[in-house]
Amino acid sequence: MSPSRPMIKLSIVIPVYNEEATVETLLAQVVAAPLPEGLERELVVVDDGSSDGSRAILHRLANEATVPFRLIEHERNRGKGAALRTAFAATTGEIVLIQDADLEYDPCEYPGLLQPILDDKADVVYGSRFLGGPRRVLFFWHYVGNTVLTMLSNMFTDLNLSDMETCYKVFRGDLLRGLALRSNRFGIEPELTAKVAKVKARIYEVPISYHGRTYAEGKKIGWRDGVSAVWAILRYNLGS
């Protein structure tokens, strides 16, 4: 009888900022999400200085231990990039997956996102909202902005991504933890893309569903973040 193969640890990192309406449901979905055989999950949650009830909810869940996760707290809001950098440094998994806390992205997509890495075809996988998966129809100008940012990023990286700004990015853990990341806010998306391109990582895209929300429902990203993303694309592709 052959010895059992060791489990592969999947670190799921979740930045949280003022998501009291969704964070408890999201964590329950992450814990219940299907995983390919042979994987175990590690959850790292970073509360990025929430000023609503998110932190109290996270403390309660951590104390109840019904949803096992490591909670790290920023005393003030520093931005998504800062929260992700804190979370990345705390991971121990062979694979790391980014999950937003707002229910726009469905954890049921995990098997498709993970398979190219498990098959040793990819070092990085992006979940694209524009490759045919079902998605809520919302903002035309957001779509245009995302298309422009992705095209600009592709021009510098020489990649042919369809959705550079997607939340769902999955990495080999050692590769991700070896990147020198600097962004504090939404510039983390183009920075990650520029730096995995520079190290010649094998990158796959897979289609995902997308359940976008309106500003009334809590959407945070705006046109200023788009301007910042342009600067980040130039900075991290032309500099360090």
> What pLDDT does 214 receive?
54
Given a contact cutoff of 8 angstroms between Cβ atoms, the answer to whether 184 and 177 are in contact is no
Q: Residue 136: what pLDDT?
A: 59
Residues of the chain with pLDDT under 50: 1-2, 215, 218
In angstroms, what CA-CA distances link 219 with 18, 19, 23, 51?
A: 11, 10, 14, 16
Identity at 6, one-letter amino acid code: P
The tokens of 214 are what? 């309106």
pTM over 0.75? The answer is yes
- The single-letter code of the amino acid at 140 is F
Question: What is the model's pLDDT at position 135?
Answer: 63
The answer to whether 77 touches 17, Cβ cutoff 8 Å, is yes
Q: How does pLDDT run across 56-81, given as a tens digit for each residue? A: 999 999 998 777 899 999 999 999 99
What pLDDT does 3 receive? Answer: 55
129 conformational bin, left if phi > 0, alpha if psi -120 to 50, beta if neither:
alpha
Coil, helix or strand at residue 56: helix
pLDDT score at 141: 65
- Check residue 134 and give its pLDDT: 62
Residue ranges of domains in the chain, CATH in brackets: 8-238 (3.90.550.10)
